[in-house]
Amino acid sequence: MIQTGLLNNAHKDLITCAAFDYYGLRLATCSLDQRICVWDVEESGWVLRDEWKAHDAPIACVAWAHPEFGDVIASAGFEGTAKIWERSVQGGGWEEKAALVDARASVRQVQFAPNSFGLRLACVSADGWVRVYDCLEQNKLDAWLLAERFQVNPLPQSLHNDEGAATPITAPKQIQSAGAREADGGWCISWCKERWWGALLACSSGASGIVKIIRFYPSQSPQIVSQLATPNSNATTSVSWAPGCGRSYHLLATGGRDGHVRIWKVTAPIPEDDEVVEEADHRWEATLVADFDDHRTAAGGVGQVGKVEWNVTGTILSSTGTDGRVRLWKATTTSGGRIWRAKGSIGVEQRMPEKSGLGMDE
């Protein structure tokens, strides 16, 4: 482990999210200060390229689109708006291309689908809804169709609620109740990175902690194909779908308010036809293959996980938590890839005097 750089005073308030672009050569950061910064890596280090006020509220998340769509960023605001930004080819600077205002509570995470599905954005908001938008004109980026929306944890009588479905939500009440639950909830989404299985999104919302895997179809409403149920009912704060990289099964990681990082192995039937789904759905299986509670330790056993994320080859998982550590996990070679182990950790505490920076502390 080695520290390689430092960016001082990147924002005027706490940074809420940092996202590397597809190549890892640019970094977008957003903050409670309502601004987005885009940094370029140069020989001397990271250099601020652009900075702008993007929302009228704190920003929860930024995400890059695939470079084939140009320099495109989506941002999620606590005022309930997701925005699309494009870097202008001529003058530089970022232009607001669209504001997606359908959410009735703060938008917590935005993520673009893999490029093979076109320019498609999923958003999850604190009202418990996931919304999926398709860009109608990829060259203009100003027209976005709300292609799907559903409640992650619907009331029992409306399992799949698509446009205009039976359980109407009254906006003011929804915001109130969502607001009351926000303190102990978790809102997260992650797209399956591959095209082969169809468009799949893992999502979790609110306090339940259950992660649902939703499959989207061109001509029917989205279906839940599998669920990852944590042993207790704590909220899931982060979910990350590992790049497939040749595996015949999927790996997903979740982090929760119970301080646990979990890795799930999900086996899926080979997709045959978009329309034939019912039989196939029964063959999805999710098993827990790793469960770590290291993030609980330092905070007196009540810690929580902030974020989980896979590297680009799906071989390293990073997790962060209230123990103040970034932890890295890797499957051990000697176990045939079955057993996941800590590979390293990073903290921000004062070094112990006897430590020289490269300690074997675990």
Partner 1 sequence: MDALHIDLVPPLVEAGKFNELVQSGHIISASLSPHNNSLAIHMAPLGEPSSENSRLEQEETVYFASHDDIPSSDRRLILSSFSTFSAIWSTMRSRESLMSREALEILRKLSIDYVNFIKESWIHLSQPLSRPEPIQFSAEHYRSLYATFSLFVVLFVPEFGYEDAPVGEELMEWLNIHFIEPSTEEGDHLSSLDSPWEDGAFWPYLTRSIIRGLSKASLFFLDTLLQHPSEDLQDLVKLLIPLVETHPRLPQFTAERDFAQASRRWKDKVKALRVEMDRIPEDSRFDDYDNWWDSLSDIVGILEGRGEVLQRVCEELGADWKEVCAAWGIFVDSRLRRQDLPDVVTDVFEKMPPDPTNLEDTIHSSLFSGNSDQVLKYASDFDIWLSAHLADIMEPLGLLDTEADPESELSRRNQYVLSYADYLHSDPTLWRITVTYLYSCGKAGEEQGDEVLLRIPLQLDIPDSDEPSALAEIIKIISTICREHGRESIASITYARAKEYGKAISYSLSAEDWPGLGRIIDTVLQEYVQYGPAVFADHASKIGPSLDQLHSDSRTGGIFTQRLTFAVRYSHIHKLRLQQDYSAAASDLITLLRDEIAPRSWWPVLLCDSLEFLQYGPKLLFSSADVLQLLQKLEEIVIRSSQGSGEDYLPILVETGKGGGEKEALEKLRTVRLAIARYLARYTVGSETHFT
Near partner 1 by CB under 8 A: residue from 53, 173, 283, 338: 338
By CB under 8 A, residue 301 contacts partner 1: no
Quote the CA–CA distance of 113 and 132 in Å, as a whole number.
9
Determine the 3-state secondary structure of 252 from DSSP: strand
- Footprint of partner 1 on 187-226 (CB under 8 A): none
Work out which of 244, 271, 288, 291 binds partner 1, going by CB under 8 A: 244
Q: Does 309 interact with partner 1 (rule: CB under 8 A)?
A: yes
Cα torsion 12, 13, 14, 18: sign: negative
Q: What are phi and psi of 42, to 5 degrees?
A: -130, 175
Least distance to partner 1, CB of residue 160, Å:
29
User: By CB under 8 A, how many residues form the interface with partner 1?
Assistant: 95
Work out how close the CB of 59 gets to partner 1 at its nearest, in angstroms, rounded to a whole number.
Answer: 10
Burial of 209 (0-12, 13-18, 19+ CB in 10 A): buried
Q: How far is the CB of 11 from partner 1 (least distance, A)?
A: 5
Coil vs helix vs strand at 202 = strand
Measure the CA–CA gap between 339 and 329, rounded to whole angstroms: 10
Q: Cα–Cα–Cα angle for 272, 133, 165, nearest 5°?
A: 80
Both tokens of residue 308? 């989980």
Binding residue for partner 1, selected from 54, 55, 77, 78, defined by CB under 8 A: 78
Q: Contacting partner 1 (CB under 8 A), which of 40, 46, 224, 291?
A: 46
CA distance 105 to 86: 25
Q: Is 175 in the site for partner 1 (CB under 8 A)?
A: no
Footprint on residues 101-120 left by partner 1 (CB under 8 A): 116
Q: Binding of partner 1 at residue 361 (CB under 8 A)?
A: yes
- Site membership for partner 1, residue 348 (CB under 8 A): yes
The residues, ordered by sequence, that sit 6+ positions from 354 with a Cβ below 8 Å of its Cβ are none
Q: Is there binding between residue 337 and partner 1 (CB under 8 A)?
A: yes
| Residue 152: its H or E element | none
Helix, strand or coil, per DSSP, at residue 205: strand
Site map 10..29 versus partner 1, x via CB under 8 A: xxxxxxxxxxx-xxxx-x-x
Segment near partner 1 (CB under 8 A), from 48-56, 91-99, 205-213, 294-302?
294-302
Copy the structure tokens of residue 37: 């910064």
Choosing from 166, 270, 276, 360, the residue that interacts with partner 1 (CB under 8 A) is 360
Does residue 243 touch partner 1 according to CB under 8 A?
yes
Q: By CB under 8 A, which span of 164-172, 201-209, 245-253, 277-285 interacts with partner 1? A: 245-253
Which residues in the 246-285 window bind partner 1 by CB under 8 A? 246-248
Q: For 283-332, where are the E strands, in sequence order? A: 285-292, 305-310, 316-321, 325-331
